[in-house]
């Protein structure tokens, strides 16, 4: 069985999900939808992806650019089993009506409110919850990173309290109109929405999050303090838990990775995806256990971390794999993410 | 009684302390010491400060620059009662011998280890501990910020646990050779040294700190989560605690201060010191109380926050004021820091 | 005779011009107008400036903020002889009608097109052209910097050709929503508008300018290549030309000023204005003469360089000084800009 | 005939050249040399490259890291016909002795002085000059970019004068310890060394260059003003000249490429090399002709632009191709750089 997939919205997330779908043995990328031509539309055409006009888009600019258009999003949705909506925040909710009318299933991104879909999703955490569902919301990059870490921790060592500071990148690398250039902006929502969002996946998790925005484009960094009820024996045991789980990359001191600049350099050298780091990134010397208390940093690549989750969500919705482990294994092998 | 003061080291901290000393009714700035000429040495001369050669400095470059030199640091220390050492980290410890031989008292900065002096100091927290001492260490900018906040909190509402993430500026505004330009660098010391350093002032404080470095030059930001044993009634009571204490500035929403860029713009408009913000900066909508738990942001101006503390330290050492409140009142009035 | 002055628009330029007007012996600041409360409105009130509501502003937010409002801009214009319009780009042109109806004179900033006023103005270059005029446009920061340099050069050494690259700061220090954070943006206008704008002052100047935007907030830097018809004897003669002219600051190598970070640190230490650098900034080792060709860098503080020009413009319009030199001398002495 | 190649130095340039060599039909990568383990050494091992210890490196850290070492650089040079030296600046000159003793040919990078080799090289400009040579210096990134542009221009339209401002990136993406974070630093060498360096390739070129350093990591941007003796008919003819030449990429307005952030995003999407942009990057609306004068911007990816040049240099030295065009065609096809 091959699931026919459309991607609506071809920006940071959409272009990556489209590439990822195209690599799956059990899926077929039917087309992608975009409102305006751009170098990214040019790349899509060069790769042989069929382009459709989404939302308020006009044909004329695509003609001028010499990029063929196969139809409108309304045409595309008739050809597919599921659409991955990667439109800008809040537009997904608008699009939902179209998908419903077309009678197709839909995946939304974390920028939409949880009630846009039947379930919020993270592959490691609640794969089964999405099985057979018609609408699924893949949680945002930060929530995905926290949920993966929660999967490792909560299944092994009960947590009394988790406090995370989300140090957020202010813009994506290709966004040249967003600041600040020099300064730190607190997020005046205390605690921040990330904690409640993690609880759409782990309803009982005693986590509180706070956020600041800083002038960088590469990755978010989570500064975590976890107090366990029953702690790991030592940091090594904790590290082993992360290391044995898919979608974690632990850097050793000899690798010389001082922070996010070197993590992304590693990603560039590795060449997975669009120079992506789809794993949660931790450091061996960035995990410490002190009695009941654990401290750890993790870096989250906002552009790509949700990409494998979108793929697994499709597999769960259409019952294409016996369980999460099987789906994750296929996704990661095809995308080039090393197995644990 | 007028205390004769020298400042050894005329960089970010030293030049500010020198200006502050010159404004005090009970102190006299005898001279400042510097190793090399620079525009800052030129400003010192223009203000009429007497310059002395410190440490490894040579006369020749000052002659070339046309800046008069009154002598060497060895001469300067013979003319004063106390020296404020604002030399680069670890140089202060070396200088300590010179001060001791000269039989004068000395203040060191927080870059030195605590055992450089008899006591670590913060005016709000432990003014009395420095009274009559011969050597005092003014704790670093981040520790000063945390200690001030601790003074407010611990005296009113017992704390069960305090977790702070220190989001550190990577360089000062005039340091053009330090990075990163784009990226976040975790500090791989977990918990970070700031917690233990606060405990040189508050020995029992249950605080754990973690730190990251981000590409900005303006201010540090502390992301705080405090769990109280006996909490304030509400956020308003907590805010009132901060507001009623010297050296706190709480921004209201109507002031339009989104983060550190606007805080420093406020400082430029106000014109205190060298465009300084010597207060802990909080935001009305950046303080939240949720049962036993409080969340709050505070921004710390690394260049200036310790300046009034150095002044109060002198006053404590020489018994120039009946108590902390009197010393702080004089310092703040002369420096232009508004009273609560 | 004391000229009554209003400032409409109290942002980066307006707040500085207001302070500058208040320092003049022959002018009186009647009031400033602002649309919304902010910490800057708070500072204005604290300084005793009378605040008026400008344009689309509402009273309610000021009341909430506790900032007294003396009236509307329509009231303010009736009380003054001249208004300095420092409203955002293109709003000045709208405001022009109001000023005309009120029968008062007006100064506009360089963000407006030249035809907003009878003459475009730079004090060193064409003071006389503004004498007695009813409307004057003070050219923008970059054009002011180029015009000052042109005043020095063209009066001494005829120019064959001048090529300047304007390396522009992307945002002002307090603008936290503008990027890019990491990248360089060419200005796709070749040559850029700066050249033609300089020719509103020097109609025959053979200058071509190109511009790029870079991620910094402090200052612009001009990279100049001038080919002379009759060159200076040597770089020293050229430097002497700049040094002997008001509103130039030449840094010597011993001052240790590597670039704009240290220039602004100098400005902070000096404390003129809002820690401003109202002079064109050059470097001794940043001026080179090679036959007919001269190369020089100059840094331009976008926030403040036009402030003294606005003051001189008022003086020219109302015939308050016998000539440019007298007006400049008064302005610079009151503002704290050192005389040559 | 297959040329056996070593790469000594496995940083930004070395790792890219090694990958490029491994893709050539007429070359064999025998091994790469590195002083210390790092994630990059780990990637080299994962790709099956043989690692050798270079210069002052020790075995122990590699053993700890579990990275096999095949020998020392002294062993490696015995196994190859040519070494590409990509060691840090000035180390190449030291290494030259070793290569000479081993009787092998050597390529040096532009960080070394021109006299390190018999000839300075750029494939488009002077391929023939390197034919049969034993030592060749591939000029630096900025000089390569200027030389390519000069190849296009000088062969078609004689130049009277060329003035270029080099707006330099302050650090590479993975360098987290270099600044400035906020500011512009003029390069106090007027004109800058880039002009003379271009003349190692084009001895008669009347070019003068000036440089500033800005806080970005992505690319350099050249701001060019060329005065022709005999100009192109129009900008379209000039663009056609660039477009018809290998290693130029001209972005059209519809592609939405505002500056270097989007150029590098394009590179990431394209996936050539380490997400590299080995071409000179121009913009259709960033080229203007005005009588004898042309203005154009070009962006230069400092990390990768010299990579194809190193490959062509090997081919020239060993007479592996009939001419430049053939060598360039093979290099570009294997590396994934589109033909004109």
How far D146 CA sits from the closest chain C CA (Å)?
Answer: 17
CB contacts of B256 in chain C (<8 Å) are 36-39
Q: Please report the residues numbered 54 through 83 in chain B whose beta carbons come closer than 8 angstroms to any beta carbon of chain C.
A: 61, 64-65
pLDDT score of D290: 95
CATH placement of domain B3-139+306-335: 3.40.50.720
CB contacts of B173 in chain D (<8 Å) are 182
Please write the tens of the pLDDT for every residue from B290-330.
999 999 999 999 999 999 999 999 999 999 999 999 999 99
pLDDT average, residue stretch C127-150 = 98
Among residues C21, C76, C141, C289, the one annotated as catalytic is C141
Q: Is A265 exposed, middle or buried (0-12, 13-18, 19+ CB in 10 A)?
A: buried
Cβ separation A179–C176 shorter than 8 A: yes
Please write the tens of the pLDDT for every residue from C170-217.
999 999 999 999 999 999 999 999 999 999 999 999 999 999 999 999
**Do residues D213 and D171 make contact, with C-beta atoms less than 8 angstroms apart?**
no
Put simply, whether A183 touches C (Cβ < 8 Å) is: yes
pLDDT at C57 over 90: no
pLDDT at B56 over 90: no
Please write the tens of the pLDDT for every residue from C9-41.
999 999 999 999 999 999 999 999 999 999 999
Residue D84: left if φ>0, alpha if ψ -120 to 50, beta else—which one? beta
pLDDT average, residue stretch C42-66 = 94
How far D218 CA sits from the closest chain A CA (Å)?
Answer: 10
Put simply, whether C271 touches B (Cβ < 8 Å) is: yes
Distance CA D265, CA A264 (A): 14
Distance CA D134, CA D112 (A): 16
Among residues A21, A76, A141, A324, the one annotated as catalytic is A141
**Do residues D185 and C258 make contact, with C-beta atoms less than 8 angstroms apart?**
yes
The residue of chain B with its CA nearest to that of C268 is B274
**Any residues with CB less than 8 A from the CB of C199 and at least 6 apart, and which?**
C205, C207
Spell out a b/e string for B50-62, using b for 16 or more CB atoms within 10 Å of the CB, else e: bbbbbbebeeebb
**Do residues D284 and D253 make contact, with C-beta atoms less than 8 angstroms apart?**
yes
pTM of this prediction exceeds 0.95: yes
Q: Which chains touch A (3 or more CB pairs under 8 A)?
A: B, C, D
Put simply, whether B179 touches D (Cβ < 8 Å) is: yes
Please write the tens of the pLDDT for every residue from C287-320.
999 999 999 999 999 999 999 999 999 999 999 9
Q: C235: how many CB neighbours lie within 10 A of its CB?
A: 18
pLDDT at C158 over 90: yes
Q: Which of D268, D276, D279, D336 to mutate to test the interface with A (most CBs of A within 10 A)?
A: D268
CB contacts of A219 in chain C (<8 Å) are none
CB contacts of D180 in chain C (<8 Å) are 216, 259, 261
The residue of chain B with its CA nearest to that of D176 is B180
Look up tokens 């930004």; give the residue.
D12
Distance CA A198, CA A196 (A): 5
How far D337 CA sits from the closest chain C CA (Å)?
Answer: 23
CB contacts of D290 in chain C (<8 Å) are 191
Spell out a b/e string for C166-204, using b for 16 or more CB atoms within 10 Å of the CB, else e: bbbbbbbbbbbebbbbbbbbbbbebbbebbebbbbbbee
Mean pLDDT (10-residue bins), chain A, 340 residues: 96 98 98 96 96 91 96 97 95 96 98 97 98 98 98 97 98 97 97 97 98 98 98 98 98 97 97 96 98 97 98 98 98 97
Is C141 marked active-site? yes
CA D74 to chain centre: 26
pLDDT score of A55: 81
Q: C292: how many CB neighbours lie within 10 A of its CB?
A: 14
**Do residues C221 and D212 make contact, with C-beta atoms less than 8 angstroms apart?**
yes
The residue of chain D with its CA nearest to that of C259 is D185
pLDDT at C51 over 90: yes
**Positions of E strands within D86-180:** 105-108, 119-121, 135-138, 159-169
CB contacts of B216 in chain D (<8 Å) are 181-182
CB contacts of A297 in chain B (<8 Å) are 186, 210, 212
pLDDT score of C55: 81
For chain A, counts of helices (H) and of strands (E)? 12, 16
pLDDT at C335 over 90: yes
pLDDT score of A56: 82
How far D200 CA sits from the closest chain A CA (Å)?
Answer: 33
Residue B66: left if φ>0, alpha if ψ -120 to 50, beta else—which one? left
Cβ separation D183–B175 shorter than 8 A: no
pLDDT score of D165: 98
* Residue B1: band (very low, low, confident or very high) from pLDDT cuts 50, 70, 90: confident
**Do residues A263 and B184 make contact, with C-beta atoms less than 8 angstroms apart?**
no
pLDDT average, residue stretch B13-41 = 97
| One pLDDT digit (tens) per residue for chain D, 340 residues | 799 999 999 999 999 999 999 999 999 999 999 999 999 999 999 999 999 999 888 999 999 999 999 999 999 999 999 999 999 988 999 999 999 999 999 999 999 999 999 999 999 999 999 999 999 999 999 999 999 999 999 999 999 999 999 999 999 999 999 999 999 999 999 999 999 999 999 999 999 999 999 999 999 999 999 999 999 999 999 999 999 999 999 999 999 999 999 999 999 999 999 999 999 999 999 999 999 999 999 999 999 999 999 999 999 999 999 999 999 999 999 999 999 9
What's the Cα-to-Cα distance from D92 to each of D17, D77, D136, D137, rounded to whole Å? 16, 14, 12, 10
CATH placement of domain D141-300: 3.30.360.10
Distance CA A80, CA A30 (A): 7
pLDDT average, residue stretch B18-45 = 97
Across the interface, of A186, A216, A259, the residue whose CB is closest to B186 is: A259
Please state the domain extents for chain B: 3-139+306-335, 141-300
Cβ separation B178–D183 shorter than 8 A: no
pLDDT score of A57: 85
How far C168 CA sits from the closest chain A CA (Å)?
Answer: 13
pLDDT average, residue stretch C267-284 = 96
Cβ separation A286–B219 shorter than 8 A: no
% of chain A beyond a pLDDT of 90: 98
* Structure token digits, residue A280: 């949660």
Q: Is B25 exposed, middle or buried (0-12, 13-18, 19+ CB in 10 A)?
A: exposed
CB contacts of B15 in chain C (<8 Å) are 269
The residue of chain D with its CA nearest to that of C287 is D190
Q: Between the CA atoms of A148, A149, A152 and A153, what dihedral angle is there, to the nearest 10 degrees?
A: -140
Put simply, whether C292 touches D (Cβ < 8 Å) is: no
pLDDT at B183 over 90: yes
Put simply, whether A258 touches B (Cβ < 8 Å) is: yes
Put simply, whether C185 touches B (Cβ < 8 Å) is: no
Is this complex scored with an ipTM above 0.95? yes
Put simply, whether C336 touches D (Cβ < 8 Å) is: no
pLDDT score of D146: 98
pLDDT at C56 over 90: no
* Residue B127: band (very low, low, confident or very high) from pLDDT cuts 50, 70, 90: very high
Q: Which of B18, B256, B283 to mutate to test the interface with C (most CBs of C within 10 A)?
A: B256
How far D141 CA sits from the closest chain C CA (Å)?
Answer: 17
**Do residues A107 and A315 make contact, with C-beta atoms less than 8 angstroms apart?**
no
């Amino acid at each position: 069985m091959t699931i026919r997939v459309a991607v609506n919205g071809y920006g940071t997330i959409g272009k990556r999900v489209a590439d990822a779908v195209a690599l799956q043995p059990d899926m077929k990328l039917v087309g992608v939808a975009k409102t305006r031509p751009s170098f990214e539309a040019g790349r899509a055409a060069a790769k042989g992806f069929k382009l459709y006009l989404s939302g308020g888009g006009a044909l004329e600019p695509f003609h001028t650019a010499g990029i063929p258009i196969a139809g409108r999003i309304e045409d595309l949705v008739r050809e597919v089993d599921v659409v991955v909506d990667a439109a800008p925040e809040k537009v997904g909710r608008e699009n939902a009506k179209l998908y419903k009318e077309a009678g197709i299933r839909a995946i939304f991104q974390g920028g939409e409110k949880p009630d846009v879909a039947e379930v919020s999703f993270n592959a490691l955490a609640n794969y089964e919850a999405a099985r057979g569902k018609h609408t699924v919301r893949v949680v945002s990059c930060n929530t995905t990173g926290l949920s993966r870490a929660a999967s490792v921790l909560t299944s092994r060592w009960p947590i009394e309290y988790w406090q995370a500071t989300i140090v957020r990148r202010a813009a994506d690398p290709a966004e040249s109109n967003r600041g600040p250039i020099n300064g730190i902006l607190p997020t005046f929502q205390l605690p921040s929405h990330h904690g409640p969002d993690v609880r759409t996946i782990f309803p009982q998790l005693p986590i509180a999050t706070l956020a600041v925005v800083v002038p960088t484009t590469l990755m978010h960094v989570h500064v975590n303090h976890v107090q366990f009820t029953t702690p790991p024996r030592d940091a090594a045991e904790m590290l082993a838990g992360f290391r044995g789980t898919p979608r974690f990359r632990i850097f050793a001191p000899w690798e010389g990775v001082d922070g996010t600049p070197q993590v992304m350099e590693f990603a560039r050298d590795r060449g997975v995806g669009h120079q992506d780091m789809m794993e949660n990134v931790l450091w061996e010397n960035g995990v410490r256990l002190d009695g009941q208390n654990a401290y750890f940093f993790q870096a989250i690549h906002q552009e790509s971390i949700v990409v494998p989750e979108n793929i697994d969500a499709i597999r769960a919705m259409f019952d294409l794999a016996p369980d999460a482990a099987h789906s994750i294994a296929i996704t990661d092998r095809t995308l080039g993410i090393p197995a644990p």
